[in-house]
Amino acid sequence: MIGNDGTVATSADPAADRAASLVDVDRWFRASLYLGAAQLYLRDNALLREPLRPEHIKPRLLGHWGTQPGLALVAAQVNRQIRSRGAKILLVVGPGHGAPAILANTFLDGSLGEVDPRYARDGDGLAHLVRDFSWPRGLASHLTPKVPGMMHEGGELGYALVHAFGAVFDVPDRVAVCIVGDGEAETGPLSAAWQSPKFLHPAESGAVLPVLHLNGYKLGGPTLYARMSDDELRAHFSGLGWRVTVVTIDDEASAHDRLAQAFDHAMDEIAAIQARARAGEDALPVWPLIALRSLKGWTGPDRVEGVQIEGTEHAHQIPLEHPVDDPVQLTALEAWLRSYRPDDLFDPAGAPKPETIALAPRNGTRIADEYLRTFPVRPLTLPALDTHAVDVPTPGATQREPMRVLGAWMRDAVAPNAANANLRFFCPDEFASNRMDAVYAATPRAWMLPRVATDTNLAPHGRVIEILSETCCEGWLEAYVLTGRHGLFVSYEAFVRIAASMASLHGKWLKMAHDVAWRPDVPSLNYVLSSHVWRQDQDGYSHQGPGFIGTLLDAKRTTARIYHACDANVLLVCAERALESRNKINVIIAGKHPAAQWLTLAQAREQVAHGAQRWVWASDDGKPDVVLAAAGDVPTIETLAATMLLREHVPGIRVAVVNVVDLLVLDHAAPGALSEAAFSALFPAGVPVIMAYHGYPSVVHELLHGRLDPDRFHVHGYHEEGTTTTPFDMTVLNEMSRFHLASDAIRRLGREDNAATALLRFCDERLQAHVAYIWEHGVDLPEVRDWTWGR
Q: Which residue has the higher pLDDT, 763 or 368?
A: 763
CATH code assigned at 339:
3.40.50.970
CATH code assigned at 759:
3.40.50.920
Q: Characterise 573 by phi-psi region: left (phi > 0), alpha (psi -120 to 50), beta (else).
A: alpha
Q: Going edge to edge, which strands form the sheet with 713-716?
A: 612-614, 655-660, 626-631, 689-693, 713-716
As for how many domains the chain has, the answer is: 3
pLDDT averaged over every residue in the chain: 94
Same domain assignment for residues 201 and 288: yes
Question: What average pLDDT score do residues 745-770 get?
Answer: 96
User: Which SS3 state, helix, strand or coil, does residue 560 take?
Assistant: strand
- Whether residue 393 lies inside any domain: the answer is no
pLDDT tens per residue across span 257-272: 999 999 999 999 999 9
Whether the Cβ atoms of residue 708 and residue 647 lie closer than 8 Å to each other = no
**For 35-60, b where at least 16 C-beta lie within 10 A, e where not — what string?**
bbbbbbbbbebbbbeeebeeebbbee
Give the pLDDT confidence score for residue 4 in this predicted structure: 40
Whether the Cβ atoms of residue 175 and residue 209 lie closer than 8 Å to each other = yes
Give the pLDDT confidence score for residue 253 in this predicted structure: 81
Q: Is the pLDDT of residue 246 over 80?
A: yes
Quote the CA–CA distance of 101 and 463 in Å, as a whole number.
37
At how many degrees (to 10) do helices 252-278 and 14-41 cross? 120
The region of weakest confidence among 104-118, 172-186, 358-372, 398-412 is 358-372
User: Which SS3 state, helix, strand or coil, does residue 713 take?
Assistant: strand
pLDDT tens per residue across span 23-52: 999 999 999 999 999 999 999 999 999 999
Quote the CA–CA distance of 58 and 25 in Å, as a whole number.
30
Same domain assignment for residues 589 and 688: no
Give the pLDDT confidence score for residue 155 in this predicted structure: 73
Same domain assignment for residues 355 and 459: no
Q: What is the largest CA-CA distance in the chain?
A: 98
Output 39-44 pairs: Cβ under 8 A, ≥24 positions apart.
39/63, 39/100, 39/103, 39/104, 39/129, 39/130, 39/133, 39/134, 39/139, 40/65, 40/100, 40/133, 40/134, 40/318, 41/320, 41/323, 41/333, 41/337, 42/130, 42/131, 43/130, 43/131, 43/135, 44/131
Quote the CA–CA distance of 635 and 697 in Å, as a whole number.
12
Q: Tell me the torsion sign for CA atoms 656, 662, 667, 670.
A: negative
Quote the CA–CA distance of 440 and 343 in Å, as a whole number.
63
Whether the Cβ atoms of residue 88 and residue 147 lie closer than 8 Å to each other = no
Quote the CA–CA distance of 91 and 151 in Å, as a whole number.
9
- Whether residue 417 lies inside any domain: the answer is yes
| Percentage of the chain modeled with pLDDT above 90 | 88
pLDDT tens per residue across span 67-104: 999 999 999 999 999 999 999 999 999 998 899 999 99
Same domain assignment for residues 593 and 444: yes
Whether the Cβ atoms of residue 556 and residue 580 lie closer than 8 Å to each other = no
Last residue in a domain, options 324, 355, 372 = 372
Domain containing residue 421 = 398-597
pLDDT tens per residue across span 178-232: 999 999 999 999 999 999 999 999 999 999 999 999 999 998 899 999 999 999 9
Same domain assignment for residues 345 and 450: no
- Whether residue 334 lies inside any domain: the answer is yes
Same domain assignment for residues 590 and 621: no
Q: Is the pLDDT of residue 3 over 50?
A: no
Same domain assignment for residues 546 and 659: no
Question: What average pLDDT score do residues 413-418 get?
Answer: 96
Quote the CA–CA distance of 48 and 534 in Å, as a whole number.
66
User: Which SS3 state, helix, strand or coil, does residue 496 take?
Assistant: helix
pLDDT tens per residue across span 313-330: 999 999 999 999 999 999
Question: What average pLDDT score do residues 622-637 get?
Answer: 97
Quote the CA–CA distance of 161 and 242 in Å, as a whole number.
14
Determine how many CB atoms are found less than 10 A away from the CB of residue 561.
26
Counting every residue, how long is the chain? 791
At how many degrees (to 10) do helices 738-749 and 633-649 cross? 50
| Percentage of the chain modeled with pLDDT above 70 | 96
Q: Is the pLDDT of residue 373 over 50?
A: yes
Same domain assignment for residues 661 and 567: no
Q: pLDDT-derived band of residue 9, with 50, 70 and 90 as boundaries?
A: low
CA separation, residue 199 to residues 139, 736, 786 (Å): 37, 43, 45
Quote the CA–CA distance of 657 and 247 in Å, as a whole number.
68
